[in-house]
Amino acid sequence: MRGDAGTAFARLCTVRDGDRAPFEGRWVVASSPLLRLRGLAGRRPDSTVMVFPRCRDVHTLTMRHPLDVAFLDRRGRVIAVHRLVLPGARLRCGRAWAVVERFARPGPWFVRGDVCLLPDAPRRRKPRGPALARTQAAPATSDGRGAVKNETKRRRHR
């Protein structure tokens, strides 16, 4: 934790559904489609800190209260922060992998560079099976007249 004049910011935090979140809140991981669809809409302002994994676009069209929003990259690092996002707005961050949001209130919130360890962060895998076959060049074939043609070129021009 770090802070200026008595305020504390989360330098590193771990996201676990139902656990205490930094800034006096409780984590809620929006893992089901229904929970993702509803989000914070229809709730009264409370201390919920909601996490949307695999999300890079947020709207506040059905909200009645402003939000604080933080975009996280694949490693959980905060890459963009928006405070007091009013209802009817849309935010997008193309590099984001997850979004953290709460009802706007005064006091500390995430800053760029903070890290949230997410429960199901993606892992890079080596391509196997069909994915590997697509990355390899197609074999050359003969058309019966001695000319060799690439199968992929024939498919493109049909």
pLDDT digits over 16-50, tens only?
888 888 888 899 999 899 988 888 988 889 989 99
Phi, psi of 37 (to 5 degrees): -65, -45
Give pLDDT, residue 13.
84
Has residue 84 been placed in a domain?
yes
Give pLDDT, residue 82.
97
Give pLDDT, residue 24.
82
Domain hosting residue 43, numbered range: 12-117
Give pLDDT, residue 136.
52
Strands 48-53 and 98-103: antiparallel
* Parts of the chain with a pLDDT under 50: 1-8, 133, 137-138
Has residue 23 been placed in a domain?
yes
Give pLDDT, residue 118.
83
Among candidate residues 57, 131, 59, 121, the one with its CA nearest the CA of residue 88: 59
64 three-class SS: coil
Residue 95 carries which DSSP code? T
Strands 98-103 and 12-14: unpaired
**Where residue 48 sits, what CATH number does that domain have?**
2.60.120.1140
Which are the contacts of 38, defined by CB distance < 8 A and separation ≥ 6?
none
Has residue 128 been placed in a domain?
no
Give pLDDT, residue 50.
94
Task: Quote the CA–CA distance of 27 and 118 in Å, as a whole number.
Answer: 11
Has residue 132 been placed in a domain?
no
Give pLDDT, residue 144.
58
